[in-house]
Structure 1
């Protein structure tokens, strides 16, 4: 008997997840079912792909060879299905999207229902990572990146931009007072990022330029964590409008020093390796997100 595509998918999932139990959770099967699939695949190929013990799991040389080829085969199958769907102008297939958690939660998740209704044959797989990932290693079709792009090897499409605001909760301001000038910030608890130092350069005009380098009293790696800290009254924060628009509208966060804001807007880009003409599902998602971002005036005019 020959290996089936579902067996290849299970094998790849086990390797990428790092364990049989993690792969079982990922695909919604029991660990014993995953183990049986692997054994059946090895029997069909008459070779050992994975050396498994109770503590670890290692690919054999044959397994490494098979893993790379299996990924290529499944990708080719997806592209073939995609090309056939394109003949009928029906976007379909699995679409793997990666974004930082704040953008995923505030700018993608609220529109997932509408996207699925519009494109019912596209199978969304949404992953979050607050650091820049390798699209090929993570099997990602599209990554949404906020800020200036540095990787020239990727294709990119600008989806829009989002202003940065200086924000604090009413409770914080009632307790510590409202800063009236940029210089007043020195006496306040400032919240900043642990990674990507440029994120701690706030778009505020002052005597030395249009960007104020702040020294955070408390730091976090995720913008969503900083948002929650600001909502809890822990300090003043600088965050993108795409994730705080509703907070500002509801009054749970107040905009500070608007007159001193330099007006810098963070670029929002979709980056990808594939040609969007060959992947209709990628094109549809980028069009959809550009449409939604424009509704909130994030798109450059």
Structure 2
């Protein structure tokens, strides 16, 4: 029998004045109550009740102990009530970790509206591309581009991650538009170096059938910052294959154009995910934040299976037949 149960029986015995009354109150039998009180007295090395054949009287030590136990039980009940209330109503501090580019371009513009809707929630926002242990770091929810395989976590996809082959109109005016894959060898590319692995992000381009293939193109310029990559592309330094959330602003303003239809890496690893610890009762602050994100993304034309890039009209049709030396494989993935 655990200590909390012993204390409940102890208080019921104080209140009922007998083992029989305590047994009725606790849903057990007098023998169990008697053994529980004896066990508690042995643990404390105190006599809590004076027993006789007719009466049961609480000792002075028992009375003092009962005062402390009652206060403890009230505090525990109050704490449990507050925690259950907190779990039902969105409030408290919400700790968010976001990938850098997604955090700046998609998340940050939504935060003001979220805080207006849920004023009892305070935000702590960490923006970095490191895949930290969110449980150890006490993160409530992380937004990551890429799937995380961890049985302790829930990974809910917010949207796919679609890639667009972008370039500045000024670059095209100066150097011409590629008409076949061989042309790309004569053009400047901006490569992206993945910080976690220090490897370059692969480049996928469509063949004459519209099927995307992995290509070996040596970039002229390299960066490990997504926003810098998009700006370098808009500034006319060359072609770049950008995630849809990085390309959106430049395409809207006209500083970028997309040559071909979007490329979507294989599922289920591909996408933007909301990642949070697996638990039986999801705190309300996390629940409403996820719902808010999903609703906000829907207004941008995105959901778990679609992005606005699907409806984008490319500036150029598929290129002509690819030279064999550029084609590596059909089944490679990002």
Report the equivalent of 2:239.
236
Report the equivalent of 1:27.
none
Alignment of 1:125-274 (within 5 A): 125-195=124-194, 196=197, 200-206=201-207, 210-258=213-261, 261-264=262-265, 266-274=270-278
Q: 1:216 to 1:276 in 2, by over 3 A?
A: farther
SS in 2 for 1:107: helix
| CA-based RMSD | 2.7
Report the equivalent of 2:92.
93
**Residue 291, structure 1, aligned to residue 291, structure 2:** no
Report the equivalent of 1:279.
283
Whether contact under 8 Å (2:93, 2:123) holds in the other structure is: yes
Q: Aligned partners of 1:163 and 1:84: how far apart in 2?
A: 40
Tell me by how many angstroms 1:122 deviates.
1.0
TM-score of the pair, normalised by structure 2: 0.59
Alignment of 1:107-118 (within 5 A): 107-118=106-117
From the CA coordinates, give the structure whose radius of gyration is larger.
2
Q: 1:183 to 1:292 in 2, by over 3 A?
A: farther
Whether contact under 8 Å (1:142, 1:272) holds in the other structure is: yes
Whether contact under 8 Å (2:234, 2:256) holds in the other structure is: yes
Q: Aligned partners of 2:146 and 2:282: how far apart in 1?
A: 27
Q: 1:280 to 1:221 in 2, by over 3 A?
A: same
Q: 1:209 to 1:172 in 2, by over 3 A?
A: closer
What are the ranges of 5 or more consecutive residues in structure 2 without an aligned counterpart? 1-78, 307-334
Number of corresponding residues? 220
Tell me by how many angstroms 1:121 deviates.
0.9
Q: Aligned partners of 2:290 and 2:280: how far apart in 1?
A: 9
Tell me by how many angstroms 1:202 deviates.
2.8
Whether contact under 8 Å (1:81, 1:93) holds in the other structure is: no
TM-score of the pair, normalised by structure 1: 0.65
Tell me whether 151-160 or 233-242 shows the greater mean CA deviation: 151-160
SS in 2 for 1:269: strand
SS in 2 for 1:95: strand
